[in-house]
Amino acid sequence: MPKLLAHRPGSGLSLVKSDRPGFLNKVKKGGVDDSRPKKKLSIGNAAEKKKQKSLSSGASQGLVFNTGIGQHILKNPLVINSMIEKAALKTTDNVLEVGPGTGNMTAKLLERSKRVIACEVDTRMVAELHKRFQGTPLYSKLDIRIGDVLKATLPAFDVCVANLPYQISSPFVFKLLLHRPIFRCAVLMFQQEFAQRLVAKPGSKLYCRLTVNTQLLAKVDHLMKVGKNNFKPPPKVESSVVRIEPRNPLPNINFQEWDGLLRIAFVRKSKTLLAAFKQTAVMKTLLTNYRVWCAKHNRKFPEDFDMKAKVEAVLEECGMLQSRARSMEQEDFMKLLLAFNKAGIHFS
């Protein structure tokens, strides 16, 4: 897995000067991508018009924010301070921030911690961070990493505080929760509906595989709702701040097996488990896995083996033939997984 590229002035950042003084161009895919606002596009060029629509001017900084990659800068200092308070930072903490943008949150984090590791994919924002903090006492505590945080190996850190690009919310949460060494907590800004899914209860309309997986690995609390006008440019959706505290120690469970079970159960969460497991594709996968299990344990695969009957027997033994994923507790899924594994049925 690639590492995030640490950057200090003069370290080879992929920025080149334009022939027009005062502008920076970003090198991308072998070419130069002008970071200035584009001229009005011709009618009929739908792709370019869509791209233009996702760009919003940063006024005072003269920046163009790319909302297409989730650039909605958190501008309200009260919200920023509240998020940092909820993180309960120590002066010895190394803090991970993803998507620092122009550094509004970064500045407050630097004041209260030992070091801030700021991960940013947009080199224009990296330049803004250097411009903002270079020459100040806080600059020596700032560690800027350039790259896609989902593709890179995360550094060790104590706390994560971030106004995340919303399109990476789900993969980033699980990357975070499976990260080692374990961190103390994360205080993250999400799209409101996503945040509500994280804290949903069984029976709720928003209760889903994401809910069960997250709550298996962490204690999750909804802290506050944040309106659109607290951002620049304003997003189209409402936002919420969530605090995530990893469970330590983690449950002694194979997460791939666990997630495999949940994928089947939540394909149609309102259907019974029996109906979910009787799907042809599911049965085929479970049968393949059972053959592998038999081979590993030196057991002869029965010629008259009936996977449907075996699955039904496990569900009946657990009293879950008519259970539906939407209303099952975490303990119910745990009980079911153990029963399936005991019967030689595996999900990975």
Q: Which residues are annotated as a binding site for S-adenosyl-L-methionine?
A: 72, 74, 99, 120, 148, 163
DSSP state at residue 205: T
Residue type, 87: A
**Is the dihedral angle over the CA atoms 234, 187, 170, 95 positive or is it negative?**
positive
Residue 16's region, left for phi above 0, alpha for psi from -120 to 50, else beta, is beta
| 230's tokens | 């607290």
Helix (H, G, I), strand (E, B) or coil at 32: strand
Consecutive H or E run containing 210: helix 209-217
C-alpha dist (Å) from residue 344 to 20, 111, 138, 161, 180: 68, 54, 57, 42, 30
Looking at the chain, the number of H-run helices and the number of E-run strands are 12, 15
C-alpha dist (Å) from residue 281 to 266, 284, 285, 288, 306: 15, 5, 6, 11, 15
* Residue with the two structure tokens 């745990």: 334
Polymer length of the chain: 348
How many Cβ atoms are within 10 Å of 15's Cβ, its own excluded?
14
Q: How far apart are CA 301 and CA 82, in angstroms?
A: 60
Please, is 283 exposed, middle or buried when counting C-beta atoms within 10 Å of its C-beta (0-12, 13-18, 19+)?
A: middle
Q: How far apart are CA 302 and CA 242, in angstroms?
A: 50
Contacts (Cβ under 8 Å, ≥6 apart) of 223: 82, 83, 86, 187, 240, 241, 242, 243
Extract the annotated binding site. Answer: 72, 74, 99, 120, 148, 163
CB-CB contact of 166 with 194 (8 Å): yes
How many Cβ atoms are within 10 Å of 81's Cβ, its own excluded?
12
